[in-house]
């Protein structure tokens, strides 16, 4: 009689073979029985083949590689989830490294909350970069703020785990989002709307090695704004209720947050970047809304 694996780790990747190799190296060092987990790499239409990278780990990892035409990270993760055989899915990204005890930490959480959506803690792997630091501080603040207000609403998709059957029943990530910005927020919102529980597991740590310069920082947060528009539109379409605008204390708290966690001179620069991130986010939101309105004027409103 065959037994089900406990975990399927799904990694969407596109044109980052060196980062993927580092990610797989960390997975190969997991302190976890090799027959109790699998790794599924989904190549989202990349032009840099991943076969050579994967071949270096086939004797160290239970590893499978899927290849898709470029459809975006949500669709890639869904394809990996459909291929999976584990009881729980754990999603991470190709620019992340898991800690050695990562799956054991998740397993302990699932022992207490087997049907929950569990989110771990992400650590910035480029502390020397102000832009990477500011982006991680934003995520840290959102988690802290949501816990303080009693409204834990989402976890980022680079450190998120949940039961496979419930993920499939929910329909997975919204595959219509072709870029990485907000699809995790939408998944968690649909999960909560369906009665699911979110559980924070700060002991389940991954290191995020996403090096940002100013151009990439702006583009990332501009895309977050675009994703926020998609999120609001999806909520309205599915009648999940109106998403409340945060009060001013949310934004003043955001700008004050670096001063609790960074040296004074560095904190001022990180706070300035956090302010800039909100400008980029707003412009991205307005840009996507305008694009939507133009599309509807041309083709009519979307179905449903």
Q: What is the pLDDT of residues 224-244, one digit of tens each?
A: 999 999 888 888 887 776 666
Write down the pLDDT at residue 214.
97
Mean predicted confidence (pLDDT) in 50-62: 93
What the block records as the tokens of 64 is: 């499978």
Write down the pLDDT at residue 149.
84
Length of the chain: 304
Return the closest-CA partner of residue 143 out of 153, 158, 133, 130.
153
Mean predicted confidence (pLDDT) in 203-223: 96
Question: What are residue 18's phi and psi, to 5 degrees?
Answer: -65, -45
Return the closest-CA partner of residue 137 out of 124, 154, 118.
124
pLDDT tens for 128-161 read 999 999 999 999 999 999 888 888 889 999 999 9
Model's pTM, two decimal places? 0.92
Residue 301 pLDDT > 60? no
CA gap 83, 90 in Å, rounded: 13
pLDDT > 90 in the chain, percent: 78
Mean predicted confidence (pLDDT) in 10-21: 95
What domains can be seen in the chain, in order of their start residue? Answer: 6-297 (3.90.550.10)
Residue 296 pLDDT > 80? no
Asked if 173 and 91 count as a contact pair (C-beta separation under 8 A), the reply is: no
CA gap 210, 217 in Å, rounded: 10
Q: Is the dihedral of CA 172, 177, 180, 183 positive or negative?
A: negative
Mean predicted confidence (pLDDT) in 30-48: 95
Write down the pLDDT at residue 304.
47
Write down the pLDDT at residue 299.
61
Write down the pLDDT at residue 76.
95
Write down the pLDDT at residue 180.
73
Residue 270 pLDDT > 70? yes
Kindly indicate the confidence band of residue 1, based on its pLDDT and cuts at 50, 70 and 90: very low
Q: How far is CA 236 from the centre of its chain?
A: 22
Angle at 205 between CA 203 and CA 209, to 5 degrees: 160
Average per-residue pLDDT for the chain: 92
Write down the pLDDT at residue 262.
95
pLDDT tens for 78-136 read 999 999 999 999 999 999 999 999 999 999 999 999 999 999 999 999 999 999 999 99
pLDDT > 70 in the chain, percent: 95
């Amino acid at each position: 009689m065959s037994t089900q694996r406990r975990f399927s780790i799904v990694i969407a990747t596109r044109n980052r073979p060196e980062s993927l190799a580092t990610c797989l190296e960390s997975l190969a060092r997991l302190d976890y029985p090799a027959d109790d987990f699998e790794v599924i790499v989904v190549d989202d239409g990349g032009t840099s083949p991943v076969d050579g990278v994967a071949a270096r780990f086939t004797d160290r990892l239970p590893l499978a590689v899927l290849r898709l035409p470029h459809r975006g990270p949500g669709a890639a993760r869904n394809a990996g989830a459909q291929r999976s055989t584990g009881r729980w899915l754990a999603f991470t990204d190709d620019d992340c490294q898991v800690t050695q005890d990562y799956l054991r930490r998740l397993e302990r959480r699932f022992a207490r909350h087997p049907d929950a959506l569990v989110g771990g803690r992400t650590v910035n792997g480029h502390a020397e970069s102000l832009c990477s630091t500011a982006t991680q501080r934003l995520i840290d603040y959102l988690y802290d703020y949501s816990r303080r207000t009693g409204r834990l609403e989402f976890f980022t998709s680079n450190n998120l785990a949940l039961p496979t059957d419930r993920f499939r029943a929910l329909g997975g990530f919204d595959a219509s989002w072709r870029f990485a910005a907000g699809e995790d927020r939408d998944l968690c919102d649909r999960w909560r709307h369906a009665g699911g529980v979110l559980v924070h597991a700060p002991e389940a740590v991954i290191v995020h090695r996403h090096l940002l310069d100013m151009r990439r920082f702006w583009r990332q947060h501009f895309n977050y704004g675009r994703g926020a528009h998609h999120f609001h539109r999806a909520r309205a379409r599915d009648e999940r209720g109106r998403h409340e605008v945060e009060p001013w204390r949310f934004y003043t708290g955001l700008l004050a947050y670096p001063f609790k966690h960074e040296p004074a001179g560095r904190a001022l620069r990180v706070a300035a970047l956090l302010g800039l991130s909100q400008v980029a986010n707003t412009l991205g939101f307005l840009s996507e809304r305008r694009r939507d309105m133009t599309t509807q004027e041309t083709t009519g409103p979307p179905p449903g």
